[in-house]
Structure 1
Amino acid sequence: MFKRIFWVAVGVGIGIVTVTKAQAYVKANTPDAARQFLLGPDQSNVPMRTLEGLVKEFNETRRAREAELNNRYNVQAD
């Protein structure tokens, strides 16, 4: 169990480092217009906007699935 947690943590760490390095490369080696197209106009807050978007999408999907399950099981209970 702890091995799996360790390797998942290592994978997450490697992913974070890779994304950070890729974003730094894009910022350093692309023209401003292309950079704005890829990262948006607010380039300093890309990770936070991405995280907020993921959380928002997760919550919307969770609520929709919860409503679907509630409707299914409430109909069966009646």
Structure 2
Amino acid sequence: MFKRVFWIGLGVIAGVLAVTKAEAYLKANTPDKARQFVLGPDQDNVAMRTLQGLVTEFRDAQRTREAELNARYGAELKG
């Protein structure tokens, strides 16, 4: 179990470092118009917008699945 947690943590750290380095390279070596096309007009909050989008998408999927399960199994419990 500890090995899995270690490797997952290491993968997350490597991913964060890779994205941070790629974003820094993109900001340093591309013209402003290209950066706005790739990162959007708010270039300082790309990570926060991405995280908020992921959380929102997860919650929407969770609610949809919960409603599906309630519809399927709720009827069985009532009748």
Asked whether the two chains share a fold, i.e. TM above 0.5, the reply is yes
Provide structure 1 residue ranges, at least 5 long, that are not aligned to the other structure.
none
| Number of equivalences | 78
Q: Distance in 2 between matches of 1:6 and 1:74?
A: 40
Q: Which runs of 5+ in 2 are unaligned?
A: none
Equivalent residue number for residue 2 of structure 1:
2
CA RMSD of aligned residues (A): 0.9
Query: What whole-Å deviation, never above 9, does each CA across 1:17-74 have from its counterpart, x for those lacking one?
Result: 0000000111111111110011010100100110000000000110011001100112
- Matches of residues 1-78 of structure 1 in structure 2 within 5 Å? 1-77=1-77, 78=79
**Structure-1-length-normalised TM-score:** 0.94
When the two structures are superposed, what TM-score results if normalisation uses the length of structure 2? 0.93
* Structure 1 moving runs of 4+ over 4 Å: none
